[in-house]
Structure formats: structure tokens, C-alpha cells
Amino acid sequence: KNEVEQSPQNLTAQEGEFITINCSYSVGISALHWLQQHPGGGIVSLFMLSSGKKKHGRLIATINIQEKHSSLHITASHPRDSAVYICAVVLRGSQGNLIFGKGTKLSVKP
């Protein structure tokens, strides 16, 4: 069983739709990252959170430590949001090493 599970694996949405990507983990963590990777591109950190909720523009990330679950929401989605979104956790007690989910491929159609 993977320690970090994301759902869905693939997601197709129409422009303007509200999108949710989920991440569940089975290990104790110090923090959780949401990363974005555009096709052929590098990896950008969107959020790092250890509790509660963070918002940046149209993106919102939440985490529930007790339930070991995090969500990434995109409001008013746009074709430029098309990318792979990766959840990564910082394993508690480690040297800050990351364990990654396999990613969610999002395609937003105009």
C-alpha cells in the first residue's frame, strides 16, 4: 500500500468548474506539500501546510491532521491550470525527506 494516495488519478474539467484533488496519507507527518508540474516542465511548490487552510489566488489547500487527509481546490478553473498536481508529505522524525503521491493529471477544457 502506498503511503501517500491521491485521487483522482486523472481529471478532466470544463473551464470555470470548481475542482478538488484529494490526498490521503498513512504516516505521521511534519508538513505536506502541494506541487504543480506542467507538461515538460519543472516542479513548482504551490503550498506547504501543517494545519488548517491556505489560499493563494484561486487555489485553496486544506489539511486535516486527525483524518490524515488534504485537499487542493481550484476555483474558476482555467485551461492554464492544466498540469499534474502532486501531493508530498514530510515524514515526521525523518531528515525532512519527502514521500510523494503519484500525482493527479488535470486537464481543463475551454
Partner 1 sequence: EAQVTQNPRYLITVTGKKLTVTCSQNMNHEYMSWYRQDPGLGLRQIYYSMNVEVTDKGDVPEGYKVSRKEKRNFPLILESPSPNQTSLYFCASRLGGISYEQYFGPGTRLTVT
3-state helix vs strand vs coil in the chain, percent to 5: 5, 60, 35
43 lies in the binding site for partner 1 (CB under 8 A)? yes
33 lies in the binding site for partner 1 (CB under 8 A)? yes
Q: How far apart are CA 51 and CA 43, in angstroms?
A: 23
Could you say which of 61, 72, 86, 106 contacts partner 1 (CB under 8 A)?
86
Site string for partner 1, 46-75 (x = CB under 8 A): --x---------------------------
Q: Residue 74 or residue 86: which is nearer to partner 1 going by CB?
A: 86
Q: Which three cell numbers stand for residue 19?
A: 475542482
Residue 107's nearest CA partner among 74, 75, 73, 84 is 84
Largest CA distance in the chain: 44
Query: Whole-number minimum distance, CB 20 to partner 1, in Å?
Result: 20
39 lies in the binding site for partner 1 (CB under 8 A)? no
The span of 13-21, 58-66, 71-79, 100-108 binding partner 1 (CB under 8 A) equals 100-108
Q: Is 54 within 8 Å of 45 (Cβ atoms)? A: no
